[in-house]
């Protein structure tokens, strides 16, 4: 059973509570996907120069945000881990001479559990979280994802969790998207649908309004796209399944990568 890879925007942590078009889409998507044997998430909220991955059997739920309604801090996502899958990930990285390290006791950050709580609310699918490195080149990030591609043949679902347009400093009160956000998303969509890697690798120089959409302080939200794409290198297809915006400068998009 070969599953697609996904890039999913995790938006505001409030998606864990909200009932809107996007949360309903994620819930429906989780019902329509074949049930994975495991889920591997590249999270924007775990940025490290060292390639890290979780190896726990059970996780704490990290509430790694502040200033939100108290109800948010009581939410949990008690998904199991999968030390066996973690070991397979370590093997594949070793085969490609990528230094890596297993981490236990970290818990699942909100880049992981907020979207999984919508996709798989029963929390009955094993999860392994992986760090990203915002200082690596997009090509390197893609290649790291490609190292793990064989796991898709073993029933593993890969998710890159972040946001293609993610500028917290330019947020506004309403959700109507800024024109520059629309232009950037459209540029990325065209290159994704054509799998134009060289252009995507140089998005920061070629894409309109790249500095606004992917500010220097927020690159970690964009790069999970490259990791997820790498796991889908054998198919090289991309379908945008959902597009909306929060606060004008956070794009809520979901891409299925084949």
- Residue 95's pLDDT band, with cuts at 50, 70 and 90, is very high
- Other CB atoms within a 10 A radius of the CB of residue 71 amount to 10
Is residue 207 predicted with pLDDT exceeding 80? yes
138-156 tens-digit pLDDT: 999 999 999 999 999 999 9
Q: How many CA atoms lie within 13 A of 220 on its CB side?
A: 14
Is residue 5 predicted with pLDDT exceeding 80? yes
Mean pLDDT, the chain, whole residue set: 97
Cα separation values, 82 from 12, 58, 87, 125, 243, Å: 27, 8, 9, 9, 32
50-64 tens-digit pLDDT: 999 999 999 999 999
- Residue 173's pLDDT band, with cuts at 50, 70 and 90, is confident
- Write down the pLDDT at residue 108: 98
Cα 24 from Cα 12, distance rounded (Å): 15
- For 162, the domain range is 5-257
Cα 241 from Cα 231, distance rounded (Å): 18
pTM: 0.97
Q: What is the CATH number of the domain that holds 203?
A: 3.40.830.10
Structural domain total, the chain: 1
Pairing of strands 100-103, 250-257: unpaired
Is residue 162 predicted with pLDDT exceeding 90? yes
Is residue 124 predicted with pLDDT exceeding 80? yes
Is residue 1 predicted with pLDDT exceeding 80? no
The secondary structure element, H or E, covering residue 72 is: none
Residues 6 or more apart in contact with residue 219 via CB below 8 angstroms: 134
- Residue 84's pLDDT band, with cuts at 50, 70 and 90, is very high
- Write down the pLDDT at residue 40: 98
């Amino acid at each position: 059973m070969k599953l697609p890879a996904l890039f999913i925007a995790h938006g505001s942590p409030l998606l864990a509570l909200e009932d809107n078009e996007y949360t309903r889409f994620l819930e429906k998507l989780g019902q329509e996907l074949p049930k994975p044997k495991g889920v591997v998430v590249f999270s924007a909220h775990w940025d490290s120069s060292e390639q890290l991955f979780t190896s726990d059997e059970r996780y704490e739920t990290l509430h790694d945000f502040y200033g939100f309604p108290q109800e948010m801090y009581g939410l949990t996502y008690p998904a199991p881990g999968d030390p066996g899958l973690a070991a397979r990930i370590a093997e594949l990285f070793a085969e490609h001479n990528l230094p890596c390290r297993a981490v236990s006791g970290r818990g699942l950050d909100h880049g992981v559990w907020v979207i999984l709580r919508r996709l798989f609310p029963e929390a009955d699918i094993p999860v392994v979280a992986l760090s990203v490195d915002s200082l690596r080149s997009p090509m390197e990030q893609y290649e790291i994802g490609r190292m793990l591609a064989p796991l898709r043949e073993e029933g593993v679902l890969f998710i890159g969790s972040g946001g293609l347009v993610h500028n917290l400093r330019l947020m506004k009160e309403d959700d109507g998207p800024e024109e520059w956000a629309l232009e950037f998303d459209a540029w990325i969509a065209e290159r994704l649908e054509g799998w134009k890697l060289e252009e995507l690798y140089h998005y920061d120089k070629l894409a309109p309004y790249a500095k606004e959409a992917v500010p220097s302080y927020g690159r970690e939200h964009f790069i999970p796209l490259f990791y997820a794409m790498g796991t889908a290198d054998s198919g090289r297809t991309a379908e945008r399944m959902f597009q909306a915006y929060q606060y004008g400068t956070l794009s809520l998009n979901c891409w299925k990568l084949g």
